Amino acid sequence: MIPALKVAVDGGPYGLAAGADDALWVTLVHAGAIARVTTTGDVTVYPVAPQSRPSIITAGPDGALWFTRTGDDHIGRISTAGELNAFPLGEDRGPYGITAGADGALWFTAMTSGEIGRISVDGEVTEWHAVGGAPSMITTGPDNALWFTLNQANAIGRLSPADGLTVRELPTAAAGPVGIAATHDDAVWFTEISAEKLGRIPLQDAIQEIDLPGKPHAVVADPGDGVWVSLWGSHQIARVSEDGEIVTIDLPRGSEPHGIAIGPDGAPWVALEAGFVLRMPI
């Protein structure tokens, strides 16, 4: 059994991702920094820039970690040795979600301008796609297309070179979709923070919804089956199996769970904005 581990990290841990160096990399949205957290609890902090508000982070195809700087309209890159680079996007973009694409580039959402952007591993922004609706988080689906939540349009978007842009409206009105993740069951799962539901899109079938407590925020595929979800509003983590069974784990009140990722040890890790990174026992 992998035991629980609670690691104190100041600065507002928000998004996190496993790196190629077998550590967790965490955005510190309030401190304007990135933290590296090992599976034994050692922490190294790398300052980025004041007011940069690093938000979502992902492992890139080049072995580095790439992240959005929502506060100052940049895409950031940090190597596993801690070397930082920044790439400006222009004013009023509001970058938020980011994922590695099937084409060897990074794709990100621009919530303020309502766009999906593509940036190469050389730092060149090569494409912009207008989608509207405040695109939030983004993932590469099992079909190698880009899937993303449209928070203000109450919809899920899909973008691919072959098919262009398609948009699927959610069954529940004003659901406020945010988190999204591809899973091993050939589906895309997403959170509906305002409706307190978890959604699932089998690639060729209708959207399914499952009721959850407490404003689900981020979602990640479990290595076995199903998904893990952070429940920001109820201070919990939930595991939802492929057949819809829900198990919740309570966290301290006020912990504000946000980003969630599977660590190099195979355990789910969650970023608590109150000042901790937590490994869940499995």
Q: Dihedrals φ, ψ of 270, to 5°?
A: -135, 140
pLDDT at position 105 over 80: yes
pLDDT in tens, 222-253: 988 899 999 999 999 999 998 889 999 999 88
pTM of the model: 0.97
Note whether 121 and 130 are within 8 A (CB). Answer: no
Predicted local confidence at residue 87, as pLDDT: 98
Which residue, chain included where needed, has tokens 């609706």?
133
pLDDT at position 162 over 80: yes
CA gyration radius, the chain = 17
Q: Is the dihedral of CA 126, 130, 131, 133 positive or negative?
A: positive
Which residue, chain included where needed, has tokens 């050389």?
122
pLDDT at position 107 over 90: yes
Alpha carbons 215 and 195: distance in angstroms, whole number = 7
Provide the percentage of residues in the chain whose pLDDT is more than 70: 100
Average pLDDT over residues 121-150: 97
Give catalytic status of residue 258 as yes or no: yes
Provide the percentage of residues in the chain whose pLDDT is more than 90: 91
pLDDT at position 82 over 80: yes
Alpha carbons 106 and 101: distance in angstroms, whole number = 6
Predicted local confidence at residue 124, as pLDDT: 98
Select 1-130's CATH number: 2.60.40.420, 2.130.10.10, 2.60.120.1140, 2.60.120.10. Answer: 2.130.10.10
Predicted local confidence at residue 282, as pLDDT: 84
- Exposed/middle/buried for 157, CB within 10 Å: 0-12, 13-18, 19+? buried
Note whether 273 and 14 are within 8 A (CB). Answer: yes
Which residue, chain included where needed, has tokens 């690639």?
203
Look up residue 145 and give its two tokens. Answer: 């297309």
Predicted local confidence at residue 242, as pLDDT: 84
Alpha carbons 88 and 81: distance in angstroms, whole number = 22
Q: Which of 91, 95, 136 is nearest to 118 (CA)?
A: 95
The catalytic residue among 74, 217, 235, 258 is 258
Domain ranges of the chain: 1-130
pLDDT in tens, 61-72: 999 999 999 999
Q: Is the dihedral of CA 144, 242, 209, 240 positive or negative?
A: negative
Q: Which of 78, 1, 54 is nearest to 280 (CA)?
A: 1
Q: Which of 138, 180, 132 is nearest to 160 (CA)?
A: 138
DSSP string, 176-228: -EEEEEE-TTSEEEEEETTTTEEEEEETTS--EEEE-SS-EEEEEE-SSSSEE
DSSP string, 44-79: EEEE--TT--EEEEEE-TTSSEEEEETTTTEEEEE-
68 CB-near residues (< 8 Å, 6+ apart): 54, 55, 56, 57, 75, 76, 95, 96, 97, 98, 108, 109
Predicted local confidence at residue 102, as pLDDT: 97
Hey, what amino acid is at 106?
L
